[in-house]
Amino acid sequence: MIFWKTFFQNSAVNESYEKNFKKLFLLDKTCDKIELKDVYISNTKNINLYELEQLCDSVGWVKRPLKKVKIALKNSSIIISLIQKNDSDTRLVGFARATSDNGFNATIWDVVIHPDFQGLGLGKVVMHQLIQQLRQAEISTITLFAEPDVISFYRKLGFIRDPDGVKGMFWYPR
Amino acid sequence: MIFWKTFFQNSAVNESYEKNFKKLFLLDKTCDKIELKDVYISNTKNINLYELEQLCDSVGWVKRPLKKVKIALKNSSIIISLIQKNDSDTRLVGFARATSDNGFNATIWDVVIHPDFQGLGLGKVVMHQLIQQLRQAEISTITLFAEPDVISFYRKLGFIRDPDGVKGMFWYPR
């Protein structure tokens, strides 16, 4: 079994990265750390809107007005992002956010991992981090709306579908 | 068929009520206005926490710490309340709120009508007002989680259950 773990990044990276970003390592069976692709996890709300648009494009999501995306990010309680960073470049490769009343309830939106980084368990890393932060904020009910193809992914993370017959419902403008 | 309509309240009520509260009238078939029980609708965020607790008690909801309720109200995007007011007293008789990113998505929580006022269509009034305000804010996806006994109520208001197989999922602390 392999699993991801976050560590505070080492001193090789610059100051601004030290504050908000943690380097991701993969641990193998022997708990030897394997640094993979220089991926960092962050809870900064300072997201580059164009990079987010590119990331969403990469998984085929419908384009959204950046002005509204900016407002939505500003009004999200928690944002988790994954950044690939090397000497010359940075790139947003994973993202998720949650709205919340910061008291009882939260709803998770826009969970996305770049296709080049899928299958590495990074979706779980992002979700674990989101859940951990919501639990730290003493949020008792964490909700989301899952497309059919990702229901089993969320179930493995402990999410329950339609508990006690409670149904997710949507109202769309007509 | 009867239906509710809001009007700006008349001059018989005091100044502070004029600003945030609208009087509710029932219209009969002939469109004659029938003022019922002096009920006002408001979008003020200034909710009396003890009155809200009493209202939630009246429908048998589990008690919640007022400190957390206060935070949750503060971080709700929209709050709709129904107040019964007469010369000597005011009383919270209906309530609903929504969290939102103010860009794309909203989730409705805590829809409650006091038992003495149920069956009058006030639940619809509160929901219509909430939807109207979310639409004014250009929110395109309005969501909620419905207990089995109120799914048909929300369906009549235009909410769709599990659209395209999208499922509501919950994560609870263990």
Chain B CB contacts of A136 under 8 Å are none
Given a cut of 50, is residue B7 above it in pLDDT? Answer: no
CATH superfamily of B36-162: Gcn5-related N-acetyltransferase (GNAT) (3.40.630.30)
User: pLDDT digit string (tens) for B85-124?
Assistant: 888 888 999 999 999 999 999 999 999 999 999 988 899 9
Percent of chain B with pLDDT over 90: 70
- Alpha-carbon gap: B37 to the closest alpha carbon of chain A (Å): 31
- Alpha-carbon gap: B25 to the closest alpha carbon of chain A (Å): 26
Find the CB nearest A166 among B147, B159, B171: B147
Mean pLDDT (chain B) is: 86
Given a cut of 60, is residue B6 above it in pLDDT? Answer: no
Find the CB nearest B168 among A69, A72, A166: A166
User: In the prediction, which pLDDT does B5 show?
Assistant: 53
User: In the prediction, which pLDDT does A30 show?
Assistant: 66
Find the CB nearest B158 among A68, A102, A171: A171
User: In the prediction, which pLDDT does A95 show?
Assistant: 98
What average pLDDT does this structure show over B29-51? 82
Give me the total of CB pairs closer than 8 Å, taking one residue from chain A and one from chain B: 175
Given a cut of 50, is residue B15 above it in pLDDT? Answer: no
A103, B159: Cβ pair inside 8 Å? no
Q: Which residue of A has its CA nearest to B159?
A: A171
Catalytically annotated residues of B: 154
Alpha-carbon separation of residue B19 from A58, B9, B39, B112 (angstroms): 48, 9, 15, 24
B72, A145: Cβ pair inside 8 Å? no
Q: Which residue of A has its CA nearest to B137?
A: A68
- Domain limits, chain B: 36-162
- Residue B36 confidence class, pLDDT cut points 50, 70, 90: low
Contacts of B18 (CB under 8 A, 6+ apart): B8, B9
Given a cut of 70, is residue B164 above it in pLDDT? Answer: yes
Sign of CA dihedral A76, A78, A80, A85: positive
User: In the prediction, which pLDDT does B8 show?
Assistant: 38
A161, B140: Cβ pair inside 8 Å? no
pLDDT tens track of chain A, all 174 residues? Answer: 345 555 433 333 334 444 677 877 666 666 666 666 688 999 999 999 999 999 999 999 999 999 999 999 999 999 999 999 888 888 999 999 999 999 999 999 999 999 999 988 899 999 999 999 999 999 999 999 999 999 999 999 999 999 999 999 999 887
Q: Check if the interface score ipTM surpasses 0.90.
A: no
User: A154 catalytic, yes or no?
Assistant: yes
User: In the prediction, which pLDDT does A92 show?
Assistant: 96
What average pLDDT does this structure show over B53-62? 97
Contacts of A16 (CB under 8 A, 6+ apart): none
Domain A3-165 has CATH 3.40.630.30: yes
Nearest Cα neighbor of A64 from B18, B171, B141 is B141
User: In the prediction, which pLDDT does B173 show?
Assistant: 81
Tokens of B71: 């935070």
Tokens of B59: 């429908």
Which residue out of A17, A40, A50, A154 is catalytically annotated? A154
